[in-house]
Structure 1
Amino acid sequence: MTGPVQDAKGCFPQAFRAELDLLMKLRRDVRRFRTDPVDEAVLTRCLSAVSLAPSVGLSEPWRIIRVGSDAARAAALKNFETANAEALADYSEDRAATYARLKLSGMREAPVQIAFFCDDETEKGHGLGARTMPEMRRYSVVTAITLFWLSLRAEGLGLGWVSVLDPDQMARDLNVPQSWSLIGYFCIGHPERLSDTPELEQEGWEQRFAALPIETR
C-alpha cells in the first residue's frame, strides 16, 4: 500500500490533512451540471470507494442501480416534478417564492444518474448490530455514499442528492426487490461552477450553524 507517509503516532503529513480538509469543504450538493459525458473509468474508480465504507456487521447492504434508459429517467423526472409541485404547495408567501427559485435537481442535465438502495433483509452480516438497531444498515449505505461523493469531488466531478421524490414510487419504477429501500437518487457530472458555500445558503433558504451544537450530559 502506497500513500502519504504516516509518523510514529499514525498521523498523516500536515499538507495531506490540509488537502483533505479542503476536499470536504468543496464537497457540495451540485444541481447545475454540464452535459458532457463522464469518463467510465473515472466513475468506476469512484464507485470502488463504496467498498471501503464501514457497514454494520460487515453486511455491505448497499445496492446500486445505474439509471440509464430513457424510460427510467423519464419516470424519475416525473416523480421529482410531482413531488416538487406538492412541496411548493405546502409553503406559503415568501417561503414559497424562495422555494420556487431553487434548482433542486440536475436530472435534465446530469449525464450519470444512480440510485442507492439498502437491502433491509440482507442475510450478510448475520444480523450483527442490526438486530437491535436495524436502521444501522441504512446508515451504512449513507457512509458508502459519502465516500463515493468525496471520491467524485477529488476527480473534479459533482454529485447532487435528489430527495424531493416518492421513494416507494422510485422503487416500483426501477423494479427492485421489496426488501430494498431507497436511500438516495444521485445526479453526477461535471459541475458548472465550484463553491465552498452551500447553494441553499447562497439562495437565502437556510444558514449553517455558526458553532457545532455539542452538549454535555
Structure 2
Amino acid sequence: MDIQKAIADRRTIKKFKQDSIDESLVVSLLEKAKMAPNHRMTEPWNILFIGKETRVELKHKTDFGGAPIVFAITSSHGKTEVEHSENLAATACFIQNFLLLAWAEGIGAFWSSMGASQAVKEKLQVPADADITGILAIGYPEEIPAAKERADIQTKISYLK
C-alpha cells in the first residue's frame, strides 16, 4: 500500500474482530515507526503494553472496542517547555507512523485520549516526568466507517507578508 492510499484510507476503528495479532508484528511496526522526526534525536516515546487486569481497571466505556492489544505511548517531558512541546510533537509523529504502518498491514487502531487523566496515569505507573500521548487499541477491524468530511485545506491556509 502506498503512503497516499494509507493516509486517505486509514480510519479510526471502534470495533475489532477477536482475531489475535502476532506481537512480533506489532513490535516490528513500532521498530519502523521510530523513524519519526524528533528534534535533537531525543526519541522521547516509550511503549507500555497493557495487560488484562490493568485494562479492566481502566474501565474504558467500550473496553477499547474489544481490541486484542492495548498499549500506551508516553512522551518524556524534556528539560525545558520547548523540549516538552517538541517531544509531544515527535511522539504524535511516532504514533501516526505506527497507525499508517499498521493500516497497511490490515490492522486498525483507536487512539484514546483517556491517558490525559491523572488517575489513568497513576494506574499505568507513568512517571511524573512523562505524559501519556495516547492509548492505542489495535486489531483487525470488525467495521470500517466511511470517511468523515474534512474542511477544504484552503480554509486552513494563511499567508504572511
Amino acid at match of 2:19: D
The answer on whether the counterparts of 1:31 and 1:106 sit within 8 Å (CA) in structure 2 is: no
Question: What is the DSSP-based 3-state SS (H/G/I as helix, E as strand, rest coil) of the residue aligned with 1:52?
Answer: coil
- CA distance, structure 2, for counterparts of residue 34 and residue 173 of structure 1: 27
TM-score normalized by the length of structure 2: 0.88
Equivalent residue number for residue 89 of structure 1: none
Equivalent residue number for residue 124 of structure 2: 174
Greater strand share, structure number:
2
User: How many residues of Structure 1 are paired with residues of Structure 2 in the alignment?
Assistant: 159
Amino acid at match of 1:31: K
Equivalent residue number for residue 42 of structure 1: 25
Equivalent residue number for residue 60 of structure 1: 43
Equivalent residue number for residue 157 of structure 2: 214
Question: What is the DSSP-based 3-state SS (H/G/I as helix, E as strand, rest coil) of the residue aligned with 2:66?
Answer: coil
Within 5 Å, give how 1:67-146 maps onto structure 2: 67-68=50-51, 70-76=52-58, 78=59, 80-81=60-61, 107-121=64-78, 132-146=82-96
- CA distance, structure 1, for counterparts of residue 25 and residue 116 of structure 2: 30
Backbone CA RMSD of aligned residues: 2.1
Following superposition, the deviation at residue 165 of structure 1 comes to 5.9
Following superposition, the deviation at residue 61 of structure 1 comes to 0.5
Amino acid at match of 2:22: D
Q: In the alignment, does 2:142 pair up with 1:192? A: yes
- CA distance, structure 1, for counterparts of residue 46 and residue 115 of structure 2: 19
Following superposition, the deviation at residue 73 of structure 1 comes to 0.2
- CA distance, structure 1, for counterparts of residue 115 and residue 73 of structure 2: 14
Q: Which moved more, 1:38-47 or 1:151-160?
A: 38-47
- CA distance, structure 2, for counterparts of residue 165 and residue 131 of structure 1: 20
Following superposition, the deviation at residue 210 of structure 1 comes to 3.1
- CA distance, structure 2, for counterparts of residue 211 and residue 106 of structure 1: 35
TM-score normalized by the length of structure 1: 0.67
- Decide whether aligned partners of structure 1 residues 172 and 187 sit closer, same or farther in structure 2, where only a CA change above 3 A counts: same
Percent of counterpart pairs with the same letter? 24
Equivalent residue number for residue 7 of structure 1: none
- Decide whether aligned partners of structure 1 residues 47 and 132 sit closer, same or farther in structure 2, where only a CA change above 3 A counts: closer
- Which runs of 5 or more structure 1 residues have no equivalent in the other structure? 1-15, 82-104, 122-126, 202-206
- CA distance, structure 2, for counterparts of residue 209 and residue 59 of structure 1: 33
